Amino acid sequence: MFDDFYGLTGRPFQLTPDPNFYFESATHRKALSYLGYGMAQSEGFIVITGEVGAGKSTLVAHMMQKVDRNQLTVGQVVTSNLDGDELVHVVAQSFGLDVEGQDKAAALGAIENFLHEEAREGRRTLLVVDESQNLSVEALEELRMLSNFQLGSHPLLQLLLLGQPEFKQVLAQHEELEQLRQRVIAAHHLQAMEPGELEPYIKHRLECVGWNGNPDFDQRVFKELYEATDGIPRRVNQVVTRLLLLGAVEQRTRIDNAMLTAVMTEMMGDNTFPEAAPKPMDKIAPAPAPGPIKHAARPAAPAPAQMAANVGTREDEIRELQQAVVELSSQVDTGGEAAEIAKLRDQIRLLEARLEEQERTVRHVLTMLIEWIETGESPRAAA
């Protein structure tokens, strides 16, 4: 929608890693240098870590565009929550080997034969393992053993491990990984972008899809956008996509601070971007990884604590009303007319029954709303 409105040839801030949008920030430039050095050694492990959305996968995809694929064969493992045996089979499959139904020894044999064939053809082999923080120590040891394959004194397999910050800590401190640590020849931790890099990053991605200055950006947006996203590329992409969508809906040619505030409020409301908000809003505590972008906020609902308070208030009102009815009944009792008293008592019982039913209904509705807010699931159908 917004790409048509602004005359863009594509989606500049898609979340899927795309090397065509690679932006070389200072930290990415360093990482690329370490990658280049490590790959020139043709052996051991290269480790790149960084926060979720820091650009690890985009960096590797950019690097792969530059290498000669006739001289380098690359396998990639993207599902790393595996034990040692499973990992061996997945590695074999990443190189196109059919090892289904084979045991671990047979799969290892197939991998070794493949590596020998690649070496005889004059090709190096690289294995890229994403989400390495999910690997067990057993699985990491299997990878280390794979790095032992040699043809004479020539190593047959090099490994590139990508992971979140906790992987860096595990790799550095786990006592059972000393042998693997000794084989790490290059490592870099991707930092967030610097504040001064945010504006060039946004304009670079827009220019990749034919941006001609429409929309323009208020300079204050970049400062507050950095505060809201901490300079993490994927977070920036999420927010700017929403800004452009809002701009298209409202037919704006300039993105300003008020629009950023509106977008951040909406994203926090639908739990898409709970970690930060522009000043002067308070930041929300970190939560699990953001869910998919939604283009409409969930209707605002009272917080559970407020709902509980409302229930208490309703109970107080019921008790006060019941007490008033009792007092009225006492006054009528002194009047002396039995028929009128009986009629009033019937009305009291009817009123109490209605109040009881109303209270049950209110509690049922509130329970469903609380479940909705706390679980994110659709409310159950009323009984």
Q: Are 171 and 181 in contact (CB under 8 A)?
A: yes
Burial 340-367 (b: 16+ CB within 10 A, else e): eeeebeeeeeeeeeebeeeeeeeeeebe
Q: What is the DSSP string of 30-51?
A: HHHHHHHHHHHHTSSEEEEEE-
Give the HSE-up count for residue 242: Cα atoms under 13 Å, Cβ half-sphere: 25
Q: What is the mean pLDDT of residues 356-372?
A: 55
pTM above threshold 0.85: no
Can you read off the two tokens belonging to residue 231? 């300079």
Determine the straight-line distance between the first and last CA of the chain, rounded to whole angstroms.
41
Q: Are 184 and 44 in contact (CB under 8 A)?
A: yes
The whole-angstrom separation of Cα 98 and Cα 264 is 48
Give the HSE-up count for residue 51: Cα atoms under 13 Å, Cβ half-sphere: 16
152: DSSP letter: T
Q: At what angle do helices 219-229 and 198-207 cross, to 10 degrees?
A: 110
Confidence of residue 296 (pLDDT cuts 50, 70, 90): very low
Tell how many helices (H) and how many strands (E) occur in the chain.
Answer: 14, 9
Delimit the domains of the chain by residue range: 1-9+195-300, 26-190, 304-375
**What does residue 83 show for φ and ψ, rounded to 5 degrees?**
-85, 180
Q: Are 194 and 236 in contact (CB under 8 A)?
A: no
- Percent share of the chain, pLDDT over 70: 70
Can you read off the two tokens belonging to residue 191? 């930092």
Confidence of residue 153 (pLDDT cuts 50, 70, 90): confident
Q: Are 362 and 312 in contact (CB under 8 A)?
A: no
Q: What is the mean pLDDT of residues 346-366?
A: 62
- pLDDT of 287 reads 36
Peptide bond into 165 cis (omega under 30): no
3-state percent helix, strand, coil for the chain, nearest multiple of 5: 55, 10, 35
Give pLDDT tens digits for 77-103. Answer: 987 678 888 999 999 999 999 999 999
* CATH architecture observed for domain 26-190: 3-Layer(aba) Sandwich (3.40)
Confidence of residue 230 (pLDDT cuts 50, 70, 90): very high
Which range has the worst mean pLDDT, 21-25, 293-297, 339-343?
293-297
The whole-angstrom separation of Cα 15 and Cα 21 is 11
- pLDDT of 330 reads 57
Q: What is the mean pLDDT of residues 318-324?
A: 56
Distance of CA 323 to the CA centre of its chain: 54
Q: Are 135 and 102 in contact (CB under 8 A)?
A: no
The whole-angstrom separation of Cα 77 and Cα 90 is 7
